[in-house]
Structure 1
Amino acid sequence: MKIGLLFPGQGSQFIGMGKDFYENSNKAKEMFEEASDAIKVDFKKLMFEENEDINKTEFTQPAILLFSAIAYELFKENIDFEYSYSLGHSLGEFSALYSAGALNLSEAIKLVHNRGKLMNEAFKDKVGSMMVVLGLDDEVVEEVCKNSNLQVWPANYNSDGQIVIAGIKEDLEKLEPLLKEKGAKRVMLLNMSVASHCPLLESATKPLRELLEEYLKDEFLDVVSNVTAKKYNTKKEALELLPIQLTKPVLYKQSIKNYEDEVEKFVEFGGKVLMGINRKITKKKTIPIVDMKSLEKAISEVK
């Protein structure tokens, strides 16, 4: 079966993620150890025990990537499937690069850990956040942001009627009544201190490019870019796309629509968030893998 590989981004983390894999798979244990060695962080403690670090972006990003990578490796070692492309949402694009062979696990963990640090550094003197808006057309949200004279931008095009805005937290709060006046069904500020995929992260793009130059392989399997909603498979392309991915909106629904005809099903590794979004975009089924039971189910559905 030809499948599209999907990888979720920040916001999909939870305490206990990966624990079932760890307790039932030697491969998972090895990957936990490799990730822990890579950045000198105890990933078992980070992902299994209540703590504040799990929601800090420099730790959230490698934790989610590790969870996704384990789900992918356990799936891959148990079944033969025809790879079509990998697609990640925001941070998930780096998990997708791992699955495509652009990075090994240690490199990917180091990369996203440092990416998180760079994003935090960009917000050391300001408070950012993100806000989900339901029930408005993209064009309406874009127009409200543009005409507001506030530091706010469309950041994630998730599905028709669901868009996420990024910007200065205070400005997002001011934008909320303007969106409701336009008929938004719901406007909800997210619990985040960094505004992803907007110009406020410009300072992080150059140092991220330097890290990518160090870690990326020259060629890899097809990955769909968040920036263009098109496939790429070379280091040269990645060096242009991944730094500006920090400052440009995630074209998720456009990516799914562009390539849904190439696959029979989607498999989401390490989450269920994209499965929920996909129900509003495509008729193609999305199968999530979050533990051993769902892994077995996914394997049986793809055979």
Structure 2
Amino acid sequence: MKVGLLFPGQGSQFVGMGKDFYDSNDKAKEMFEVASDAIKTDFKKLMFEENEEINKTEYTQPAILLYSAIAYELFKNADFDYAFSLGHSLGEFSALYSAGAIDLADAIKLVHERGKLMNAAFRDKVGSMMVVLGLDDETIENICKESGLKVWPANYNSDGQLVLAGLREDLEKLEPVLKEKGAKRVMLLNMSVASHCPLLESASAPLRDLLDEYLKDEFKSVVSNVSAKAYNTKKEALELLPVQLTKPVLYKQSIKNYENDADIFVELGGKVLMGINRKITKKKTLPVTDMASLEKVINTLEG
């Protein structure tokens, strides 16, 4: 079976993520140690115990990446053919790890620094993101353009589900306008950083420098959030990943572009994309979140 590997992004974190892997597998324990050493943080405490750090961007990102990386390492020995890796937002960095573009320690350092750069861009302003349900893309795009507000489309998740990013006060102003135009639901998210919009421009150049330091020259195919097309070289990554901060995530476009290249999708370290995929494709998406689901997915592929 040809498998498209999927990796969730920020917002999928929860206390207890990865604990079943850690308790059951020496490889998982080893990867926790590598991550902890990389940024001098106790990842067991970060991911298994109630704490405030798990929801801080600079720690959320490495925690999610570690969870997905462990799921991938335990899954990769299954009998399947690799089609491509596709991550949603932060998940693109997990996808790069799975594709052999970056070592685990460097990936942890990279997304930790990415989180800090994103926070720094919002030191003097308050950003946020907002989910809009029930309107077509063009209608929302036109509303954003005509509003004159600092608000942009950020995540094209599925038909009828688009996430906006921008200044919190501007998103709040846009909420009644979207409802008047027929949105079924408009929900402001509890975030202070607006991802995938021009407000993160200041983080792009420093991120490129980090990517240049950490990425390998060639790797397996990864589908870009920016272009919805696959790439497999450092040169391409250095063009795409810095602007990924300021450009929208073309998730549904990516699935539609590559669904025929895979017989099945496997989401590593979450179930969020499985839910979104039901609205995009008829291809099945199976999640790997613990040892039981790992065994179930492997049995499905090998059966």
TM-score (norm 1): 0.99
Instruction: Kindly provide the amino acid, as one letter, of the partner of residue 27 in structure 2.
Output: K
- Which residue of structure 2 aligns with residue 39 of structure 1? 39
1:81, 1:62 → 2: CA distance? 27
Per-residue CA deviation, residues 20-43 of structure 1 (Å, 9 max, x unaligned), is 000000000000000000000100
Instruction: Kindly provide the amino acid, as one letter, of the partner of residue 73 in structure 2.
Output: E
- Which residue of structure 2 aligns with residue 146 of structure 1? 145
The answer to whether residue 132 in structure 2 is matched with residue 101 in structure 1 is no
After TM superposition, the runs of 4+ consecutive aligned structure 1 residues lying more than 3 A away are none
For residues 172-251 of structure 1, the aligned pairs below 5 Å read: 172-251=171-250
The answer to whether residue 42 in structure 2 is matched with residue 73 in structure 1 is no
Instruction: Kindly provide the amino acid, as one letter, of the partner of residue 157 in structure 2.
Output: N
- Which residue of structure 2 aligns with residue 272 of structure 1? 271
1:100, 1:180 → 2: CA distance? 42
- Which residue of structure 1 aligns with residue 90 of structure 2? 91
Q: The residue matched to 1:50 in structure 2 has which SS?
A: coil
Q: The residue matched to 2:231 in structure 1 has which SS?
A: strand
1:119, 1:302 → 2: CA distance? 39
2:188, 2:288 → 1: CA distance? 28
Contact 2:208 2:241 survives alignment (8 Å) = yes
Q: Percent identity?
A: 80
Instruction: Kindly provide the amino acid, as one letter, of the partner of residue 76 in structure 2.
Output: K
Per-residue CA deviation, residues 103-154 of structure 1 (Å, 9 max, x unaligned), is 0100100000000000000000000000000000000000010011110000
1:244, 1:265 → 2: CA distance? 29
- Which residue of structure 2 aligns with residue 21 of structure 1? 21
Q: The residue matched to 2:247 in structure 1 has which SS?
A: coil
Shift of 1:3: 0.4
Instruction: Kindly provide the amino acid, as one letter, of the partner of residue 235 in structure 1.
Output: K
In structure 1, stretches of 5+ residues that fail to align are: none
- Which residue of structure 2 aligns with residue 58 of structure 1? 58
2:258, 2:148 → 1: CA distance? 36
1:81, 1:105 → 2: CA distance? 22
1:193, 1:55 → 2: CA distance? 11
Per-residue CA deviation, residues 47-105 of structure 1 (Å, 9 max, x unaligned), is 0000011000000000000000000000113x121000000000000000000000010
- Which residue of structure 1 aligns with residue 124 of structure 2? 125
Instruction: Kindly provide the amino acid, as one letter, of the partner of residue 27 in structure 1.
Output: K
Instruction: Kindly provide the amino acid, as one letter, of the partner of residue 31 in structure 1.
Output: M
Q: The residue matched to 1:3 in structure 2 has which SS?
A: strand
Instruction: Kindly provide the amino acid, as one letter, of the partner of residue 104 in structure 2.
Output: L
- Which residue of structure 2 aligns with residue 166 of structure 1? 165
1:145, 1:105 → 2: CA distance? 39
Contact 2:79 2:301 survives alignment (8 Å) = no
1:15, 1:215 → 2: CA distance? 29
Q: Kindly report the root-mean-square deviation, in angstroms, between the aligned alpha carbons of the 2 structures.
A: 0.4
The count of aligned residue pairs is 302
Per-residue CA deviation, residues 230-259 of structure 1 (Å, 9 max, x unaligned), is 000000000000000000000000000000
- Which residue of structure 1 aligns with residue 114 of structure 2? 115
- Which residue of structure 2 aligns with residue 8 of structure 1? 8
Instruction: Kindly provide the amino acid, as one letter, of the partner of residue 29 in structure 2.
Output: K
Q: The residue matched to 2:149 in structure 1 has which SS?
A: coil
2:253, 2:300 → 1: CA distance? 26
